[in-house]
Amino acid sequence: MRKNISFKLFMVTVFFFLLFIVTQLILQSLFFERYFIWRKTTEFETKLKKFEFQYYNYVDDWSKAIGLINEFEKNEDSKIVVLENDGTMSYITKYYDEKNDITKINDVKEIITKWRNDSNNAYNLKTATDIITYTVNNKNYDFKHLVCVSSIKKNGIQVKTIFAITPLNEVSDTIETLSDFYMYFYIVAFVISLILSIIYSRMVSRPLRKVTKTAKKMSRLDFSEKCEVTSQDEIGRLAETLNFLSANLELALNSLKKSNKKLKIDIEKEKKIEKMRREFIASISHELKTPITLIEGYAEGFKDGIFEDEEKDYYIDVILDEARKMEVMVADMLQLSKYESGNIELHIEEFDIIPLINKIIKKMSTSQVNDKKLNLITDFYEKEILVKADIQRIEGVINNFFTNAIRHTQQDGNIYVNIKDDKSRIFIEVENEGSFIPEEEKNKIWNKFYKIDKSGNKKFGGTGLGLAIVKNILELHKSTFGVENTEKGVKFYFSLDK
């Protein structure tokens, strides 16, 4: 017979709650009264010691001693009796509560009488180093009294014995009150536990039934996974259903995931390769079309003899110039393809960046700089700045930034070169005066064959591959790089580790 899991959860919850209640009742009946008496005893002894110390100072001044005894009895709801060595008892009678006080005195007298009748008590008191405390049953009441006995000594000789008695009726009253309270509390708690158990059991079993129903539908696909559960409840039925899935689920599902993942990667890779191939063919076709057309046209002109002798040298120079441009473009494309394929290995070394920049500045002071009357302004005075990088690749980066700056700076313009120190790295900046780069173009200029000037104006030259190569070099160096518009023009920058 199969048992409902809701019933199981309900019974387990109720069982543990009942176990908790029974445990509480047992602990309360066994230890609460003892603990309460122990605590009362400790507090009473502490206050009696304080009283004993003060009383010792007033032992010869009975008027002050009376005031001290009155205060203690009032504060502690107790009775103090002083027993002299000759057996005389000294105590205070309260006339405003004479009947009740006489009852207390009679109780103390009875306790002292029993005390004196036991010869061992006198010896124990003399040898005791602390207060002697015990409890006695009061024949007139149904509760106990706490009795504390202490001796007053002068020069090592016992001169007085102090008896302090306090009722423990508050313990009985407290226990009785708590018992009544806990009885109602446990009844209410039990009812609440029943309600919560029902709700909890339904909350757990309901989703399990839904899972079972779903698993049965999945079993029609013949996926399976073994589930080692033998209980005869909803979880057991769920396990029986899932066992249909256990045989082939892991193998089939994992195999399908791996195949799909591999297929997806292969498809994306093929798409990327195909896209790069199309872009490459389109770009190279476009970029080589103009020089090839020029070379072809001028070559046909030479063949047909349409050029005069004085024009031949000019057109030969045009053909050679276009051929060199094609050579540079092919070299750049081969270099870029190496970077994009990840076949470039950097040769990192520590070197001084200042001489390298000065070398490039000196090299760039060409006829183009002089013809445009450009000023190269540096803003670094350090004798030495050591960086860790591939010096050959970084030289290419700085060369490209300078070339672009020269190309896009107007007549009589300025080019600024600056180095900024940023703790663990430096930033190299090349800024030129001129027109700004549109915001939407900033990220595109790093793409291959991308040119801001769409008119094909020859004065800006370039193959459109320089910044794409620079981007790959700087990414290999894990450099922070970019371009931004400034008040003066455009600034390219990149970082190198120290």
Taking the C-alpha atoms of residue 162 and residue 54, their distance in angstroms, rounded to an integer, is 13
> Residue 25: CB partners within 8 Å, gap ≥ 6?
182, 186
Tokens representing 266 are 């292969």
Block means of pLDDT (10 residues each) for the chain, length 498 residues? 64 79 77 81 88 80 82 84 78 61 74 79 76 78 78 78 82 72 78 76 65 66 61 67 66 80 83 70 69 77 72 77 74 71 80 89 74 82 84 89 87 89 88 87 80 52 74 89 90 92
Question: Exposure pattern of 459-495 as b/e (b: 16+ CB <10 Å)?
Answer: eeebbbbbbbbbbbbbebbebebebeeeeebbbbbbb
- Give a three-class secondary structure readout of 307-360: CCHHHHHHHHHHHHHHHHHHHHHHHHHHHHHHHHHCCCCCCCEEEEHHHHHHHH
Residue 492: its pLDDT value, please? 94
Residue 462: its pLDDT value, please? 57
Amino acid residing at 203: M
Domains of the chain and any CATH numbers: 5-174 (3.30.450.20), 260-341 (1.10.287.130), 349-497 (3.30.565.10)
Residue 3: its pLDDT value, please? 57
Amino acid residing at 300: E
Start-to-end Cα distance in the chain: 78
Residue 455: its pLDDT value, please? 47
pTM strictly above 0.85: no
Residue 460: its pLDDT value, please? 47
| Cα torsion 124, 126, 128, 130: sign | positive
Place of tokens 């405390």: 133
Residue 275: its pLDDT value, please? 74
